[in-house]
Amino acid sequence: MSGHPTYQPQSAFMRWMERRLPIGGLIYSSFVVYPTPRNLNYWWTFGGILAFMLGVQIVTGVVLAMHYTPQVDFAFDSVERIMRDVNYGWLLRYLHATGASMFFLAAYIHMFRGMYYGSYKDPREVLWILGVILLLLMIITGFMGYVLPWGQMSFWAATVITNLFSAIPLVGEPIVTWLWGGYAVGNPTLNRFYSLHYLLPFVIVGVVVLHIWALHVAGQNNPTGVEPKSEEDTVAFTPYATIKDSFLLAVFCILFAWFVFYIPNFLLAPDNYIPANPAVTPTHIVPEWYYLPFYAILRAIPNKLFGVMALGASILILAFLPWLDTSKVRSARYRPLYRQFFWVFVIVCVGLGWLGGKPPEGNYVLIARIFTVYYFAFFLVILPVLGKVERTKPLPNSISESVLREGKPIGAQAPPPAGAKV
Amino acid sequence: MTTMSSAEPTRRDFLYIATASVAAFGAAATLVPLIAQMNPDASTIAAGAPIEVDLTPIADGQVIKVFWRGKPIYVNHRTKKQIEEAQNVDVAKLPDPQPDSARVKPGHDQWQVLIGICTHLGCIPIAHQGPYDGYFCPCHGSVYDTSGRIRQGPAPLNLALPPYEFLSDTKIRIG
Ligand code: HEM
Ligand code: FES
């Protein structure tokens, strides 16, 4: 990043270090002087929130693991012991269980942000795909974590989800037996899920590093979708982005804390406080809320194989988004039609989430089918066609022009951003 | 690779390819134990030994559930009416066509033994429920008849039958 002061180590130790492992300089250039578009709004703070939540899950998870027993006869009791006997165990478990929900909430907002502002377009395709991989890893990790308390929902979620693979012709059944390590979900299944539930968050950390690397190569998108052209268009990461991120993180933590301290079981299924019973399926099984839209798509299709394929496709299709959207204009601000289809898409996703929690009968199935059609049509029909026919609004020449024209010359009077001028 | 001019493959090229092949083969061979360890282990397979079930205590119209290989097995003592309903079906119209006679042992029409695992995604259907008085799966609403054949819902296949045989008229061995 030319034009920005390079890192000048202050202490003798950091000068010594910088010639051996220039980590100080890396942090300085990535998180202090790193130029961010001056017009970023609060929707851009969810990346930082996600990083924070990943940290929360790892810290609470590692300490839960000190008290948890991955054995079918003891798993449920060990979680109850965490709740009742372990010092602050209730807090750690509620933080971890609710934390998973908050993590997904932030991820979904982060993704809708990307879709609204066209952040997946050239040159950010790889950045976007790494994000889809992160979502997949989160889904798998969250699912395996949910199995660990070995309650009724844990057991039957494990059964139903692993059985998705039985839809594969010919090799389906052997794959399911292989996943279970037995002829039904049992102790070997619990053991391996625990092993992977411990491992995958660290794989997520690795992919997050790649995600941020790709971000820092392409640079951040911004609400106009117009790339920064001059120094006028950017401000330094610290203090501007740091403060904005911190503020929303604090607000987000209030919501998080409200769940943890006031309604900790709101997001947990009561059935999961019943120990796993391989002989009885609970009458109404539903996954965690963050899987419901995908679950609704699975159930909307009355054929096993096609249902499972639609479920997989609903996630994988996101990876192709950069090529399905044919419009050259990034931001929905300048795409009057796309903006409407986008909000319908958001409503459809939330609606599918609601339907996923309803019994699969009558009108619920009908609406779920209509929504499923829209979900796929949005990617496969609307986006490719819209790029060709939509009349977009004129783009501003630059970020600073758009900011100034909107009558809010914030940057103009503010003291020059630290480090932005040579 | 770096020898730019010679179009002819050299002995060095051969060595590179041979070395890489051995390494690739070795890597593939390592995968075998890594993947195989996840399949059922010897004790799990041994625990799948056959079980015997005494049929005398099961009353007419009663269904009991036993476990074999960690799977629930339904033993259904069907009533005359249920047997008739199972037999008087236009087999060709079923999603997974199978006559009732293919799902019970000859001469033991009243005993229906099946694996109580929904062929959709593995939940346990509830006996004596649903419009056909057979089995109903609460998870996604699959309906089976008194022969355990799929009639409605997302499940693709009839309830599976375990391997079993009659040791006497009142005793079966499953497995
Ligand atoms: C990507 C980050 C993670 C997610 C999304 C996640 C999600 C979950 C979920 C949903 C549960 C079930 C909570 C419940 O209903 O009780 C769970 C349980 C558990 N997780 Fe995680 N987890 C993550 C990271 C970790 C890490 C890094 C560890 C350990 C090193 C860990 C250890 C555990 C343990 C021991 C349990 C069982 C105790 C309990 O049920 O509270 N988790 N996890
Ligand atoms: S598992 Fe029985 S209907 Fe889905």
> Quick check: helix, strand or coil at residue B161?
coil
Note the pLDDT tens digit of each residue in A10-43: 899 999 999 999 999 999 999 999 999 999 999 9
pLDDT category of residue A421 using cuts at 50, 70 and 90: very low
Q: In this structure, are A208 and A331 located in the same domain?
A: no
d(CA A179, CA A161): 11
Note the pLDDT tens digit of each residue in A303-333: 889 999 999 999 999 999 999 999 999 999 9
* pLDDT at residue B48, rounded to an integer: 80
What count of Cα atoms within 13 Å lies in the side-chain half-sphere of residue A84?
6
Give domain status of residue A292, yes or no: yes
* pLDDT at residue A31, rounded to an integer: 92
- Determine the length of chain A: 422
DSSP string, A153-207: HHHHHHHHHHHGGGGSTTTHHHHHHHHHTSSSS-HHHHHHHHHHHHHHHHHHHHH
Ligand nearest to the CA of A79: 1
Give domain status of residue A16, yes or no: no
pTM of the model: 0.90
In CATH, what number is assigned to the domain containing residue B125? 2.102.10.10
Strands B164-168 and B135-136 come out as unpaired
Q: In this structure, are A264 and A296 located in the same domain?
A: no
Q: B-chain residues within 8 Å CB-CB of A278?
A: 67, 70, 72
* pLDDT at residue B18, rounded to an integer: 96
Give domain status of residue A418, yes or no: no
Q: Which among A58, A201, A93, A74 has a CA at the least distance from the CA of A150? A: A74
**Residue B164 phi, psi dihedral angles, 5° rounding:** -155, 160
Nearest CB to A281 within list B41, B138, B153: B138
Q: B-chain residues within 8 Å CB-CB of A182?
A: 40, 44, 69-70
**Residue A85 phi, psi dihedral angles, 5° rounding:** -105, -40
Give domain status of residue B3, yes or no: no
From A155, which residue of chain B is nearest by alpha-carbon distance? B123
**At A231, which amino acid appears?**
E
Give domain status of residue B98, yes or no: yes
A23-55 burial, b at 16+ Cβ within 10 Å, e below that, comes to ebbeebbeebbbbbbbbbeebbbbbbbbbbbbe
Note the pLDDT tens digit of each residue in B64-118: 999 998 889 999 999 999 899 889 888 888 999 999 989 999 989 899 999 999 9
Give domain status of residue A411, yes or no: no
| Whether residue B130 has pLDDT greater than 90 | no
Closest CA to ligand 2's atom 4: B140
Give domain status of residue B75, yes or no: yes
* pLDDT at residue A413, rounded to an integer: 46
Q: In this structure, are B94 and B29 located in the same domain?
A: no
- Is A252 within 8 Å of A102 (Cβ atoms)? yes
Structural tokens at position A131: 């994000």
From B36, which residue of chain A is nearest by alpha-carbon distance? A178
* pLDDT at residue A48, rounded to an integer: 97
pLDDT category of residue A362 using cuts at 50, 70 and 90: confident
Structural tokens at position A394: 């004129």
**Residue B76 phi, psi dihedral angles, 5° rounding:** -110, 115
Strands B171-174 and B51-54 come out as antiparallel
Ligand 1 pocket test, pick from A64, A96, A191, A203 with the greatest ligand atom count within 8 Å of Cβ, gives A96
* pLDDT at residue A410, rounded to an integer: 45
Find the catalytic residue in B77, B108, B128, B140.
B140
| Whether residue A3 has pLDDT greater than 50 | no
Give domain status of residue B58, yes or no: yes
Q: In this structure, are B65 and B117 located in the same domain?
A: yes
Of chain A, the percentage scoring pLDDT greater than 70 comes to: 95
Q: Where are the alpha helices (DSSP H) in A219-274?
A: 242-262
Give domain status of residue A51, yes or no: yes
- For chain B, the domain total comes to 2
Q: In this structure, are A83 and A202 located in the same domain?
A: yes
* pLDDT at residue A276, rounded to an integer: 96
* Touching B: A residues 355-394, CB under 8 Å: 359-361
Q: In this structure, are B32 and B59 located in the same domain?
A: no
* pLDDT at residue A411, rounded to an integer: 45
Contact yes or no for A184 and B44 at CB 8 A: no
Residues of the domain holding A193 = 28-281
| Whether residue B129 has pLDDT greater than 90 | no
Residue A77 Cα, ligand 2 centroid: separation in angstroms? 29
- Is A248 within 8 Å of A49 (Cβ atoms)? yes
* pLDDT at residue B47, rounded to an integer: 82
* pLDDT at residue A416, rounded to an integer: 47
In CATH, what number is assigned to the domain containing residue A351? 1.10.287.980
Average pLDDT over residues A151-165: 95
Closest CA to ligand 2's atom 1: B121
Average pLDDT over residues A243-257: 98
Residues of the domain holding B30 = 9-39
* pLDDT at residue B92, rounded to an integer: 87
| Whether residue A344 has pLDDT greater than 70 | yes
Q: In this structure, are A274 and A292 located in the same domain?
A: no
| Whether residue A414 has pLDDT greater than 60 | no
Give domain status of residue B1, yes or no: no
A129-143, A201-215, A354-368, B27-41: least confidently modelled range: A354-368
Q: In this structure, are A312 and A259 located in the same domain?
A: no
Of chain B, the percentage scoring pLDDT greater than 70 comes to: 97
Domain boundary among A225, A246, A281: A281
Q: In this structure, are A261 and A338 located in the same domain?
A: no
Q: Does B64 touch chain A (CB under 8 A)?
A: no
Task: Give the list of residues 6+ apart from residue A357 with CB closer than 8 angstroms, or none.
Answer: A286, A289, A292
Domain boundary among A236, A260, A281: A281
Give domain status of residue A326, yes or no: yes
pLDDT category of residue B144 using cuts at 50, 70 and 90: very high
A179–chain B nearest CA distance, Å: 7
> Quick check: helix, strand or coil at residue B40?
coil
* pLDDT at residue A409, rounded to an integer: 47
What count of Cα atoms within 13 Å lies in the side-chain half-sphere of residue A312?
10
Give domain status of residue B2, yes or no: no
Q: Is B128 an active-site residue?
A: no
Q: In this structure, are A163 and A265 located in the same domain?
A: yes
Task: Give the list of residues 6+ apart from residue A311 with CB closer than 8 angstroms, or none.
Answer: A164, A294, A295, A297, A298
Q: Which residues line ligand 1 (CB under 6 A)?
A: A 57-58, 61-62, 64-65, 68, 79, 93, 96-97, 100, 103, 138, 141-142, 145-146, 148-149, 197-198, 201, 204, 268
* pLDDT at residue A403, rounded to an integer: 84
Q: In this structure, are B72 and B100 located in the same domain?
A: yes
- For chain A, the domain total comes to 2
In CATH, what number is assigned to the domain containing residue A214? 1.20.810.10
Give domain status of residue A1, yes or no: no
Give domain status of residue A220, yes or no: yes
Q: In this structure, are B52 and B35 located in the same domain?
A: no
pLDDT category of residue A412 using cuts at 50, 70 and 90: very low
Q: In this structure, are A310 and A277 located in the same domain?
A: no
A33-47, A93-107, A246-260, B119-133: least confidently modelled range: B119-133
Q: In this structure, are B160 and B95 located in the same domain?
A: yes
d(CA A273, CA A153): 9
Average pLDDT over residues B132-160: 91
Average pLDDT over residues B152-174: 92
More confident residue, A56 or B69: A56
